Structure 1
Amino acid sequence: MSKNRSTRTFLGRGNFAEVTRVGEILRMETVGGMLLVGAAIIAIIWANSPWADGYFTVRDITIGLPSLHLDLTIGQWASDGLLAIFFFLTGLELKKEFVIGDLRTPATALVPVAAAFGGVAVPAIIYVIINLGTPSGLQGWAIPTATDIAFAVAVLAILGSHLPSALRIFLLTLAVVDDLIAIVIIAIFYADGFSLVPLLLTLIPLAAYAVLTHVFPRFFGRSAWAPWVILLPIGIVAWALLHSSGVHATIAGVALGFAVPVRRMAKHGGPDSGPGLAEVLEHRLRPLSSGFAVPVFAFFAAGVAIGGVDGFISAVTDPVMIGILAGLVLGKPIGITLTTWLLTRFTKARLDGSLAWIDVIGVGLLAGIGFTVSLLVAELSFGPDSPHGDHAKIAIFTASVLAALLAAIVLRARNKHYRKNTEEESVDLDDDGIPDVYQGRDGESARD
C-alpha cells in the first residue's frame, strides 16, 4: 500500500479550471490554424504558377524609413512586424503558465518542460549529424526544433479527434515551453549586427509599458481605446528600438507580453472581480494574430519556387532538407516520448491508467508540425541568395504534412478510446457546472 502512495501519476486529468482554460485557447487556435495552412498553400501555388513574378514582386516591395533602419520589404514587415503580435500572445501565454498554469508547480511542470527540451534537443542533434558534411547548412540547426500549436490544433479539428484533456494540456504546455526555447535561441543565435545603445534604450518603453499595465490594469482592461492609443504606441517604440539593436524585433513582443499582469483584477481592495489584463488583451488580440498576422506571415514566407521535378530533386538531396524532415518527423516524437519515458524510469511516476504510450507518441508526432517559428528560423538562418533557404521551406512544409498524416493515423486509431474518456469527462450528474470526474480534485476552486 505504501508503494502505491509513493507512486505519482502524470498526464492525469488535472483540475477543471485548467482544462477549461486550455480548451478555450485551443478552440480559438483552430480557425487560425486552418487559415495558416490555407495561406501557405495559396503562396506555394502562386509561387509556382505562370504568375509567380507577381508574387515575388509584391513580397519584395520595400517600404519604410531608412533613417530609422525600417526600410523593409513587405515580406520582412510580415516576419519582423506582424509576427511580433504572435510573439506578444506567446509572452502572455508563457506568463500565464508560469503564474496560474501548470508551469507554476514544479512537480506538474516537470513532464512537459522535460519533454519540450527533449523535443528540441533530439531534432537539433539529428539535423547536425546529417549536415556535418555541409558547413553552410549547419546554421539551420534550430529549424526543426519548433512546434506550431495552431497547425497542430487545426489537424485535430480536421480529424475530429476526441483527444483527452490531459493530452491537450500536455500538448499546449509543451508547445508553450517549446516557444520559450525558440525565443531564447532566436535572441542568442540570430542577432544581426548587434548594437548595445538601442538595446538599452528599449528598456525605457518596456518599463513604461510595465508600470502602466500594473498601475492601471482595470483602466486598460475596461477601456476599448486605451490599449490602442496608449499601449500600442509604446509597444511600437520598443519594437523599433529592438529592431535597431540587431536582436530580432519579435522578441519585443515577448517582452511586452511578460510585462502584462496576469492575475484577476480586484475592485477597491475587494475580492477578484474580473479577468486579468493578460486575459483581456489575449481575447482582443488573438483574432488579429490567428486571423491576420500569422496567415499573412505564412503567405509571404512559404512561397517558394520549387522549379519543377529537377528543383524538387535538388531539394530532396540537400542535407538541409533531409535534416529538417528527419528532425521534425522522427526527432520530435522520439525526443518527447523518450524523455517522458525516462522520467518514469528515474522518478516514482507512472503514466495515467487511462492513457497508453502510443498516446504520447501521437502527441509527439503532432509536435513535429513545425511551421510558423520554423519558417522564421529558416529565414534567419539562410540569406535570400542561399539555395538552402528555399529547400528549408520546402522541407518544413513537407515535414509538417508528413507529421500531420502520421499523427492522424495514430490518433484516429485511438479515437474510440478517446471518445469514451471524453464522455466520462462530460458527465455532470449534480448539475453544478463541474464534471463529476473532477469533483474532489479542485473543489470549489474549479469555479474560479
Structure 2
Amino acid sequence: MTGTRHPHLPSDPARARIVLARGTYREYSRIERIITAESTGGLILLIATVAALVLANSPASGAYTALRDAHLGGDLGPLHLNLTIGHWAADGLLAIFFFLAGLELKKEFVVGDLRDPGRALVPVVAAAGGVAVPALIFTAINLMGPPGALQGWAIPAATDIAFAVALLAVLAKNLPSALRTFLLTLAIVDDLIAILIIAVFYTADLQLLWLGVAVVPIVLFRVLATRAESLFKISLAAAWFLLLPLGVVTWALFYNSGIHATIAGVVLAFMVPVRVRSRLAPDYSLADTFEHRFRPLSTGFAVPVFAFFSAGVTVGGISGLLEAWQSTVALGIIAGLVGGKILGIMGSTFLVTRLRRANLDPDIRWIDLLGVAGVAGIGFTVSLLVTELSFAVEDPMHDQAKIGVLTASVLAGVVGAAILVPRSRHYAQIAQAEKVDADADGIPDAFAEEWED
C-alpha cells in the first residue's frame, strides 16, 4: 500500500494536505520505546485491578478496606501530611505518573514532531473533541439525575495511556506507525486537558500562601536542572539527589495549597530541560534521563498501586452490577467513554480534514481511525482519580462511577480490538508482500530516504 495514490487526494499536489502522516524516524523510534514500556505497565495494571476487585468482593474485603483507609504520616508544622494509604497512592504516587506526562508533553512540543503546528493540530483537536463530547453526553444524561451527579462531568473525559497503548501493542502491533503515534500523542494531550480540568475545577479552598511559597523550590529546581553541572561539577544525570528533595517539598506545598498535588509533578516536569546536554552524557538530555529512570517506577509501581487501592469497588453480585448500570452516573460514564470518545475524536478529525481541505495519509483508512478512537475510550487511571475528586467515598455515586469506568473501559477495549485486530492482520499481509521490514541497518525502509538525508 505504501506509495499508492489515495483515491480522494486532490489532483493538484500543491493543494494536497495529509493528516496523520508517518512523521520522522526519531519520533517513530521514541514512540516504539514508549509503547514497549507502557504495554508492560498495562499488564501489571490489569493484574493490580483484578486483584483489587477480587479482594473487595471477597471475605477479605474488610482487611482490604482497613489497609486502604489506614493513616500514614503526620503533620509537619503547619503542613498537613497525615493521609490514608489510599490518598498517598492517589495524591503522592500519581504525581510520578503526571511528572512523566509533563515530560512527554514538553518533549512533544519542544523537540518532537508536534513542534510543527501542522502536525500538532490533528491530535490536539481530536483530543479536545474526545474530551468535550463525553463530558457533554455525561452532562445531558445527568441533568435530571440525583443531586450532585453533575460533579462527575469530567470522569469520562480521559484516556488511559497504559491500557490503550498496551492493547494496541499486543493486539494490533502491525498498524501503521502514524496511528500508534496518533493515539499516544492524543492521550498525552488528553492528559494535559485533564490536568487543566483538575487544576481549575477540582481545586477547593485555595491557599495562595502555600502556592506562593512553592515558587521558591520550583525556581531552585529549574536552576539546578539546567546548571547543576557548572555549579557543582556533577553531571546532570547525578543531580537527582539535589532535585528529588525539592520535588518532595514542592509536592507537599501544592497539597496544602488546595490544588491537587499531582499538578506539582507536571509543573516540575516543565522545569526539566529537553535540549540541554551533559558533557558527560552528550547523547541524552536530563528529560531523557528522568524518563528512563522514572518510567519503570511509574508503570511498574506507582500507577498499579493507585489502581489497587482505587479500583477495589464492592460490586454486590449481578444484582449490584445491574443496579449500578441503571444509575445515571454509570450510564453517563459508559456512554461518554464508549460512544462519546468515538464521536468526539472522529468528528473533530473529520472537521479538520474538511476545513483544511486535507485527507488522511494514503496508508490509513477511516476504519483504522475508528478503531483507535474506540481504544481511546479506555479511561482508567485519570478517570478513577477524577471519580475520587468528584464523589465522597460514602456517596453511592462513588461506587457507581467506578463501576461505570471499569465497565466502559472493558467495552471500549472490546470495540477497539474488534476493529483493529483484523486491520492489523491486513497490514501484516501488506508488509509481508511488499517486504517493508527493516534492512540490515535496522531502519525501516519507509524511513530510509529521510535517514540518509
Q: Report TM bin, short chain.
A: over 0.9
Question: 1:203 pairs with 205, 215, 235, which one?
Answer: 215
SS of aligned partner of 1:9: strand
Shift of 1:432: 4.0
CA RMSD of aligned residues (A): 1.8
Percent identity (aligned): 53
Letter in 2 for 1:256: L
1:87 pairs with 2:98: yes
Distance 2:341 2:435 in 1: 29
Change (3 A) 1:159 1:383: same
Deviation readout 1:33-58 (Å, 9 max, x if unpaired): 11111101110111000111010000
SS of aligned partner of 2:181: helix
SS of aligned partner of 1:350: strand
Unaligned runs of 5+ in 1: none
Partner residue of 2:53?
A: 44
Distance 2:373 2:255 in 1: 34
Return the TM-score normalized by structure 1: 0.94
Partner residue of 1:96?
A: 107
Letter in 2 for 1:118: G
Question: 2:68 pairs with 43, 47, 59, which one?
Answer: 59
1:155 pairs with 2:164: no
Question: 2:277 pairs with 240, 244, 265, which one?
Answer: 265
Distance 2:435 2:235 in 1: 36
Partner residue of 1:384?
A: 393
Question: 1:369 pairs with 374, 378, 396, which one?
Answer: 378
Letter in 1 for 2:422: A
Q: Which runs of 4+ in 1 moved over 6 A?
A: none
Distance 1:421 1:273 in 2: 39
Letter in 2 for 1:124: A
Letter in 2 for 1:384: V
Deviation readout 1:65-109 (Å, 9 max, x if unpaired): 134211110000000000001011111111000111122110010
Question: 2:337 pairs with 328, 333, 351, which one?
Answer: 328
Letter in 2 for 1:144: P
Question: 1:140 pairs with 143, 152, 168, which one?
Answer: 152
Letter in 2 for 1:175: A
Partner residue of 1:20?
A: 29
Q: Is the 8 A contact 2:18 2:361 kept in 1?
A: yes
Letter in 1 for 2:182: F
Deviates more, 1:211-220 or 1:337-346: 211-220
Shift of 1:417: 2.2
Distance 1:203 1:421 in 2: 54
Aligned pairs for 1:269-288 within 5 A? 273-288=282-297
Q: Is the 8 A contact 1:220 1:277 kept in 2?
A: no
1:337 pairs with 2:346: yes
Deviation readout 1:113-137 (Å, 9 max, x if unpaired): 0000000000001000000012411
1:399 pairs with 2:408: yes
Shift of 1:426: 4.6
Shift of 1:192: 2.1
Distance 1:312 1:245 in 2: 38
1:31 pairs with 2:40: yes
Partner residue of 1:232?
A: 244
Distance 1:308 1:354 in 2: 46
Partner residue of 2:194?
A: 182
Distance 1:40 1:377 in 2: 17
Q: Is the 8 A contact 2:225 2:236 kept in 1?
A: no
Distance 2:314 2:333 in 1: 19
Return the TM-score normalized by structure 2: 0.93
Partner residue of 2:140?
A: 129
Change (3 A) 1:437 1:393: same
Partner residue of 1:4?
A: 13
Deviation readout 1:289-311 (Å, 9 max, x if unpaired): 10000000000000011122332
Letter in 2 for 1:214: T
Distance 2:413 2:229 in 1: 40
Partner residue of 2:265?
A: 253
Distance 2:436 2:265 in 1: 37
Partner residue of 1:412?
A: 421
Aligned pairs for 1:418-437 within 5 A? 418-420=427-429, 426-429=436-439, 431-437=440-446
SS of aligned partner of 1:365: helix
Q: Is the 8 A contact 1:14 1:441 kept in 2?
A: no
Q: Is the 8 A contact 1:221 1:281 kept in 2?
A: no
The number of residues matched between the two structures is 437
Unaligned runs of 5+ in 2: 1-9
SS of aligned partner of 1:90: helix
Q: Is the 8 A contact 1:217 1:261 kept in 2?
A: no
Distance 2:11 2:367 in 1: 29
SS of aligned partner of 1:439: helix
Partner residue of 2:83?
A: 72
